[in-house]
């Protein structure tokens, strides 16, 4: 159906030609102009858009429309989970200035409670699967929400004078504590979370008849609702204003009467809840619930955050959509190296734009 070697040759030619065009324009045109850096940014943006478009065309051309769209359908769930996890990471990065390695572990703890609750519900009540899983999602989000508050109140708030690398280490310690506590608390129980629904729905898109699992559709609805509410809250409520103020400068925000303690605690709690939702949605695909449930999402979440840029909330979402999609699409051409290639592309993009695709440069006072 398609030729792997031809695809990779074209792929490498596209990327190499972008780099060559950049180098030529930069050396022969931009160096001679005043205001080099502004023009450079425009050039990089243009080349990135061109490269992205041509790679998409190449992918559609080599895969065919059906396989291209079907891959997108298959990756809907992965995108939803990653989007939720990434938003949590960014929220904490904004308010606490640290990369939260415990994001995945908080979510996993929620998933364990959810699975235990499902076991309890199955034994005592006669609810349908979908009702049980919805209740479990609430339990998972609630557990992670409370855990987030506890972590902030008892640990992060007390570690105000620790550097951001130190805070990173604290979250790393929390990962160890949580992943040690889970087997002690839930040891021996076979815990599983069923899907919301096992049906597969036929969809017609651009004249192609595709299929998508019902579970992914529910996950998409949930994710979109949660994220729209969250983004609206960030944009229009007082809490959102507080988060943005704290993100830009915590001390000044405090002086202006923003209660940064509550803002930070709520950010941790909401990040936890987002993770709890994500973990229950992701759990059915790994068989039994294990402590390593969210590790790959965690790493991809960090990657998505720097790809989109930590300085905005929308940028990381774009990253969270692109990463699983590219991994899924490149899978057809190399089922071993797709992850490495996606990370390499991210590395190249971040080298070209150090603050991410949508990052804004913040002037630093020396």
Partner 1 sequence: MMLYSVNRSLERKTKLHQILHHPYFGFFALGFLLLFVQFLRITGVNIPITVLRGLGLTMIYIIIALGFSILLGYAGLASLGTAGFVGIGTYLIGYLTNAKGYSISMILVIGFLGAIAIGTIVGFISLRIEGLYLGIITLGLSEILNEVFKNATAITNGTNGLLMNRIVLFGQYYQFNSNTIFIAIVFILILVMVLTLNIMKSPTGRAMLAMRNSESAAQAMGVSVLKYRLLAFIIATVYAFLGGILYMTYIGFSIPTTWNLAFSLFVLAAVIVGGSQSIAGVVLGTFMIFGLDLAVFQQITFFQENPDITFILNGVLIVVVVMFYPGGLARLLINLKFKITNLVKKLMKKWKAYKYGEDD
Q: Kindly list the residues in this chain that would bind partner 1 in the complex (CB under 8 A).
A: 93, 98-99, 101, 155, 158-159, 161-170, 172-181, 183-184, 295, 299, 302-303, 305-306, 310, 336-337, 339-340, 343-344, 346-347, 350-351, 354-355, 366
Complex with partner 1: residue 87 or 99, whichever CB lies closer: 99
**Min separation Cβ 335 and partner 1, Å:** 10
Complex with partner 1: residue 32 or 364, whichever CB lies closer: 364
**Min separation Cβ 90 and partner 1, Å:** 12
Q: Contact 282/276 with Cβ under 8 angstroms?
A: no
Q: Contact 105/174 with Cβ under 8 angstroms?
A: yes
Name the 3-class secondary structure at 201.
strand
Tell which residue, 161, 160, 180, has the closest CA to residue 102.
180
- What's the rounded Cα separation, in Å, for the pair 328 and 193? 24
Token pair in block for residue 177: 């504590």
Complex with partner 1: residue 8 or 66, whichever CB lies closer: 8
**Min separation Cβ 344 and partner 1, Å:** 6
Token pair in block for residue 236: 């229009």
**Min separation Cβ 168 and partner 1, Å:** 7
**Min separation Cβ 6 and partner 1, Å:** 22
Residue given tokens 């979908």 in the structure block: 130
**Min separation Cβ 129 and partner 1, Å:** 31
Complex with partner 1: residue 50 or 295, whichever CB lies closer: 295
DSSP state of 136: H
**Min separation Cβ 327 and partner 1, Å:** 12
> Helix, strand, coil proportions of the chain in percent (round to 5)?
75, 5, 20
Complex with partner 1: residue 170 or 217, whichever CB lies closer: 170
- What's the rounded Cα separation, in Å, for the pair 46 and 360? 17
Give Rg (Cα) of the chain.
Answer: 22
Complex with partner 1: residue 213 or 309, whichever CB lies closer: 309
- What's the rounded Cα separation, in Å, for the pair 7 and 22? 23
Complex with partner 1: residue 16 or 347, whichever CB lies closer: 347
Helices (H), 190-331: 214-236, 238-248, 250-255, 260-282, 295-308, 314-330
């Amino acid at each position: 159906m398609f030729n792997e070697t031809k695809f990779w040759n074209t792929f490498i030619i596209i990327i190499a030609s972008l780099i060559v065009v950049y180098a030529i324009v930069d050396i022969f045109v931009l160096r001679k102009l005043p205001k080099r850096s502004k023009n450079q940014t425009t050039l990089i943006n243009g080349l990135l858009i061109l490269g992205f478009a041509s790679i998409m065309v190449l992918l559609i051309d080599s895969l065919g429309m059906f396989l291209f769209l079907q891959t997108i359908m298959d990756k809907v769930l992965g995108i939803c989970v990653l989007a939720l996890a990434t938003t949590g990471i960014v929220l904490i990065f904004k308010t606490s200035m640290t990369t939260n390695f415990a994001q995945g572990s908080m979510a996993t703890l929620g998933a364990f409670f959810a699975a235990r609750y499902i076991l309890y519900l199955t034994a005592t009540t006669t609810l349908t699967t979908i009702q049980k899983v919805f209740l479990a999602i609430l339990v998972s989000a609630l557990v992670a929400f409370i855990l987030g508050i506890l972590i902030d109140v008892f640990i992060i708030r007390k570690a105000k004078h620790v550097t951001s690398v130190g805070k990173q280490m604290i979250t790393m310690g929390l990962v160890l504590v949580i992943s040690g506590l889970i087997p002690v608390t839930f040891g021996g129980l076979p815990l599983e979370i069923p899907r919301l629904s096992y049906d597969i729905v036929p969809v017609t898109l651009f004249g192609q008849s595709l299929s998508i699992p019902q579970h992914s559709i529910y996950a998409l609805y949930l994710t979109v609702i949660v994220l729209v509410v969250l983004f609206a809250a960030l944009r229009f409520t007082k809490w959102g204003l507080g988060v943005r103020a704290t993100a830009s400068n915590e001390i000044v925000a405090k002086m202006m009467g923003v209660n940064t303690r509550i803002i930070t605690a709520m950010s941790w709690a909401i990040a936890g809840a987002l993770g709890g939702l994500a973990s229950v949605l992701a759990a059915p695909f790994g068989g039994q619930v294990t402590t390593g449930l969210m590790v790959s999402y965690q790493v991809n979440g960090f990657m998505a955050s720097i790809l989109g840029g930590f300085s905005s909330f929308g940028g990381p979402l774009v990253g969270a959509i692109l990463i699983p999609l590219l991994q899924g699409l490149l899978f057809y051409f190399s089922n071993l190296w797709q992850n490495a290639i996606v990370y390499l592309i991210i590395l190249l993009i971040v080298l070209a734009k150090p603050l991410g695709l949508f990052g804004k440069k913040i002037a630093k006072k020396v």
